[in-house]
């Protein structure tokens, strides 16, 4: 029960729903046990004694009892569902909130499909036990207790015979639980992998079709689907083995009771009606115990689900505010790196090695280097998406840990290479960082990002609703909307992570022209592979294997006879020079 104890904070505040549901269940269980007693009275005192004057009273009484039981059953089921649904409502909120604050490190390894499975199937599995499983355990205890009490009232010897069979059933149930829980955990994991496969395939369907890899993807899905099927069949095999065993033990108990009970009736030590009532009561014990296998089945599923949910809730939030963080409305934007060293995981190579530079307010820093050289790492550290292992990162002369995370990131505008747009209107996407901003400012930001013209050509203009991940727009159009979104927040620090990689040269020129105005007074970091995007930077840092291999202005770096920057420049511009020579020659 450790899993349920640790998740107690989500369901215990609503214990009143649960307690009233149990209170109603007591009525249901108590009335259920009355049936055999009515049957015994009907046989022994009405039929055998031929005293039929009781028949009308028994009929009316039975109708009243049924009405009370029906009402109690309604409240029991409704309040039980209300208990479970309300509890997981808060649990789902807590999980989603936790996911918002988990660091990038967590998402580096997490699978989207698996996370979706946890927030849907696993939450629902936990809810089902709260709504149904707890009540079934209590129903089992009530029915067995009430039934045994009546049994001892009718016949002590027969009651002890019944008790003698219960340990065998208990052992079978215990062994069933020990085997079925790992099996259900395997089912939950395989379901997460299956969802991940589906999510990845749908997200990358363009790549799949463009490379004609449909058969390959189908094969991978078949393997994941087979793994889920095999895990489920393993669980079914356990269930199929233990349920007949428990039924066999229950039937042996019935045979013994009938044999010994018949002997007591023949010897006049037990009335026929009492034997019939006793036989009915036995099933009120045996069936709940046999049904306990199903309850354990449900419990094991919910426990496996709860463990997967706790894995999210227990995940440490590495990036947190320290002490009493400084809340600032606006920072100036002076960024300093002092001997910063960083690696993403303990087994990885260093992403940055003793990197130091100074970017005063309003300067533009260009970052150039091969993939994996550390360019994006620098910008991610500025926003505290990760924490460096060594060194200091200062903003306006203070360690970035002194600022609250929210106020720091509010002053940093980021345009990523991989643009993400939400499935909402273009207006909402641009205003995402400031939903209450005036429409005129949205239009102004779009114009600066060279996005206004193509937006106005769309059927609904700024109210055009985009498809998932911005489907319906070209890569360049999506990137320009993302640029407008960053501009609108009026950041002190602007980070452009290859922000113009998906636009043509003409549009890039227009955006760069607009950026010249936008970047005034802001500290700007430009990650780019095109020299044309970096040539106007105040300082260019050329990174190689996590270190700054070269630094300087565009003119200083190309005037070097050797160096990475000069080689990149020659590669990008030598063809243009040859074309010009042919045209002039």
Distance CA 547, CA 386 (A): 18
pLDDT, tens digit, 9 for 90 and up, residues 346-371: 777 889 999 999 999 999 999 998 88
**In the structure, what pLDDT confidence band is assigned to residue 224 with cuts at 50, 70 and 90?**
confident
Closest to 479 in 3D by CA, of 451, 513, 438, 458: 451
Q: Is the dihedral of CA 321, 325, 327, 330 positive or negative?
A: negative
Determine the topology of domain 328-411+537-585 in CATH.
Rossmann fold (3.40.50)
DSSP character at residue 467: -
**φ, ψ for residue 439 (rounded to 5)?**
-65, -35
Least confident segment among 171-175, 203-207, 373-377, 440-444:
203-207
In this predicted model, what pLDDT tens digit does every residue of 271-325 receive, in sequence order? 888 888 887 887 787 777 767 766 777 787 788 888 889 988 998 888 888 888 8
Hey, is 365 helix, strand or coil?
strand
DSSP H/E element including 525: strand 523-527
CB 159 within 8 A of CB 148: yes
Which secondary structure element, helix H or strand E, spans residue 166, and what is its range?
helix 156-203
Domain with CATH 3.40.50.300 in the chain: 328-411+537-585
Locus of tokens 């043509």: 504
CATH topology of domain 2-313: ABC transporter transmembrane region fold (1.20.1560)
Residue 443: pLDDT band with limits 50, 70, 90: very high
Q: How much is the CA Rg of the chain, to the nearest whole Å?
A: 36
CB-based burial, 143-177: b 16+ in 10 Å, e otherwise? bbebbbebbeebbeebbebbeebbebbeebbeebb
Query: Which residues on adjacent β-strands are paired with residue 342?
Result: 352
Residue 363 has phi, psi (to 5 degrees) of: -85, 160
- 341 has which bridge partners? 390
Q: What is the pLDDT of residue 579?
A: 45
Ranking 55-69, 83-97, 251-265 by mean pLDDT, the lowest is 251-265
Across-strand partners of 369?
543
* 430/113 Cα distance (integer angstroms): 28
C-alpha distances (whole Å) from 107 to each of 9, 56, 521 are 26, 71, 34
Q: In whole angstroms, give the CA distance from residue 474 to residue 276.
A: 78
Q: What stretch(es) of the chain map to CATH 1.20.1560.10?
A: 2-313
Range with the poorest average pLDDT among 135-139, 158-162, 229-233, 507-511 = 507-511
H helix intervals, 42-54: none
Residue 468, pLDDT above cutoff 70: no
Given a contact cutoff of 8 angstroms between Cβ atoms, the answer to whether 37 and 58 are in contact is: no
CA distances from 52 to 56, 59, 60, 66, 276 (A): 8, 12, 14, 22, 19
pLDDT tops 80 at residue 565: yes
């Amino acid at each position: 029960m450790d899993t349920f104890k640790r998740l107690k904070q989500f369901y215990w505040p609503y214990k009143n729903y649960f307690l009233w549901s149990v209170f109603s269940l007591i009525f249901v269980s108590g009335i259920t046990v009355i049936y055999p007693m009515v049957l015994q009275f009907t046989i022994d005192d009405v039929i055998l004694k031929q005293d039929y004057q009781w028949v009308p009273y028994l009929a009316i009484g039975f109708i009243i009892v049924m009405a009370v039981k029906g009402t109690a059953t309604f409240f029991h089921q409704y309040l039980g569902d209300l208990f479970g649904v309300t509890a997981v409502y808060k649990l789902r909120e807590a999980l989603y909130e936790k996911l918002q604050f988990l660091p990038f490190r967590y998402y580096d390894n997490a699978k989207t499909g698996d996370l979706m499975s946890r927030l849907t199937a696993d939450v629902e599995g936990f809810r089902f036990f709260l709504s149904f499983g707890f009540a079934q355990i209590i129903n089992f205890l009530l029915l067995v207790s009430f039934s045994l009490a009546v049994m001892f009232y009718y016949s002590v010897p027969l009651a002890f015979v019944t008790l003698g069979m219960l340990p065998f059933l208990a052992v079978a149930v215990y062994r069933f639980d020990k085997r079925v829980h790992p099996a259900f955990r395997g089912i939950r994991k395989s379901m997460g992998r299956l969802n991940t496969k589906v999510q990845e395939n749908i997200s990358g369907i363009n790549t799949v079709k463009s490379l004609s890899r449909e058969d390959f993807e189908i094969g991978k899905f078949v393997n994941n689907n087979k793994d889920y099927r095999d895990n489920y069949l393993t669980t079914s095999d356990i269930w199929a083995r233990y349920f007949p065993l428990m039924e066999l033990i229950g039937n042996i108990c019935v045979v013994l009771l009938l044999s010994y009970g018949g002997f007591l009736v023949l010897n006049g030590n037990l009335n026929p009606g009492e034997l019939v009532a006793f036989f009915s009561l036995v099933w009120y014990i045996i069936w709940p115990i046999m049904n306990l296998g199903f309850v354990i089945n449900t419990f094991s599923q919910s426990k496996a689900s709860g463990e997967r949910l706790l894995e999210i809730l227990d995940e440490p939030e590495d990036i947190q505010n320290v002490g009493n963080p400084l809340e600032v409305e606006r920072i100036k934007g002076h960024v300093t790196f002092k001997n910063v060293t960083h690696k993403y995981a303990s087994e990885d190579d260093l992403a940055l090695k003793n990197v130091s530079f100074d970017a005063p307010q309003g300067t533009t820093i260009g970052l150039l280097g091969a993939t994996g050289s550390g360019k994006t790492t620098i910008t991610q550290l500025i926003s505290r998406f990760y924490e460096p292992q060594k060194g200091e990162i200062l903003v306006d002369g203070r360690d970035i840990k002194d600022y609250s995370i929210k106020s720091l990131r509010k002053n940093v505008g980021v345009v990523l290479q991989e643009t993400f747009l939400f499935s909402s209107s273009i207006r909402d996407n641009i205003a995402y960082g400031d939903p209450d901003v005036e429409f005129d400012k949205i239009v102004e930001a779009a114009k600066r990002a060279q996005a206004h013209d193509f937006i106005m050509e769309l059927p609904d203009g700024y109210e055009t609703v985009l498809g998932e991940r911005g489907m319906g727009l070209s890569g360049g159009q999506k990137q320009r909307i993302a640029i407008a979104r960053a501009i609108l927040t009026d950041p002190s620090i602007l980070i452009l992570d290859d922000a113009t990689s998906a636009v043509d040269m003409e549009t890039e020129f227009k955006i760069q022209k607009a950026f010249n105005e936008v970047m005034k007074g802001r500290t700007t970091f430009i990650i780019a592979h095109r020299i044309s995007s970096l040539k106007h930077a105040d300082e260019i840092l050329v990174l190689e294997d996590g270190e700054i291999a070269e630094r300087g202005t565009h003119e200083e770096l190309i005037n070097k006879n050797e160096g990475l920057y000069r080689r990149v420049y020659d590669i990008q511009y030598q063809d243009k020079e040859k074309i010009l020579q042919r045209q002039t020659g």
